[in-house]
Structure 1
């Protein structure tokens, strides 16, 4: 009777470690945002991570990934304006609004630059968009794309979004190349479809690349392949510090005594302390002056009052 060999002991799990910062990932085609996040988290062996708004698998470009204390500020990027460059393929309509769907109709393309410019003008400013069925928006706990895959189309309410900039970068029939800066919740696939519908020939999105999220751009970004090829020490060095998410806020520097009070959640009357104050009220990034440590964000209020908002854990510094 043959004896089975004893099973090999599993290698011990490497414990996760606290990692704090922001990775500017240049996402490649084919990766879902969540899969890219899981891969980067595993490579960093990080305890805590989150992304800042999804990119479709067929899209490329900027996907900021937040680790550790940076996740406290990821909501700001979810709310931030986004910038995209896209190729709109005129004359072909697909059921998903992009290259991943089935072709529903084909029409000849005979439009002039003047017609295109006139059409684009209709989509600048505040517009209404009907979210696509092939989206992650949920209805009764299920994403719309699950209904779509089952052949079910649900009524969707139009939503207001704002197109801050819509620029024609080039036209070589049947392809339009556009740059869009827009508010959160804007679907560039739907914008492409709506432009095609207005031109009378229909359209779908052929390529989509996100180039900006708030003040963050692709400058200094890395692809997942590059990140995988890095040594462990290089991966950590590729992260922006946590305050890389806060560069648009003015800085407030606190003494050691005021730092203690701020970290205990106390509102500070900075006008009486001789602290240099931002020119305007609103959100500020707050540091301990003696060592340059980021303490978190605060709200500058009337009369030089600083109220703590989101605090960085002192354990992470």
Structure 2
């Protein structure tokens, strides 16, 4: 049995801790009962021995498997990781979601995606990454009484994501310390209006509106100052026709959305300007969490 979860890009400019979408870059875990517990990692993180010995997936899996079955069972886990670690593409959310889903499948308990999403909230209090990881597509989400309430928009196949992945991370915890302790009413109104306009643009498929809608005054500039090259990435993306260009989560990845026919040119220009960084053209994902039996 294989569980897979897509990468995500959160915030999307003004939608701080609220907006996110998923892209077709997946982490997969294959598992089966075994006489002995074992973990094998291929792809991202395979050279990091700490991930085998102190594995967040295994910890969450065991917690839920024992809750569901009231017994212990050894499993062999084989991870195939494509999502870069600590780069703002939802690698932690992918681990959390896949661990919970895998535990339910291993226990033989069918559960809705909404239930998995609410379980994931225990480990990740912000719903902007975990929601698209589970649901796929573009999502706006909020939390009320320890539950995620969200709406999803299916993304058309004529759009592409172009992501620039720097060679070093930006710590989410550290980047949050750079943010203001309070915001002026003017800036709060600016972000509320732009986040609302971003949601409307996605649901109405008014892609030309996104360049205006995705402006932000809450977090992006402060975080981007930690890696000044990000300002040039954004400027270059817009010069090459990106529909929107925003910091992915807390960074360091930068996410741009464009039409299919513009993706190759945009990616080539970014590769030329930033040869030290990885540039990927990705399809958007509408499936979210998937189970292959």
- Which category of TM-score, normalised to the shorter sequence, fits these structures? under 0.3
TM-score by length of 1: 0.24
Higher strand share: 1
More relative contact order, 1 or 2 (CA 8 Å, 6+ apart): 2
Give the TM-score normalised by the residue count of structure 2: 0.26
Considering fraction of residues, name the structure with more helix: 2
Larger-Rg structure: 1
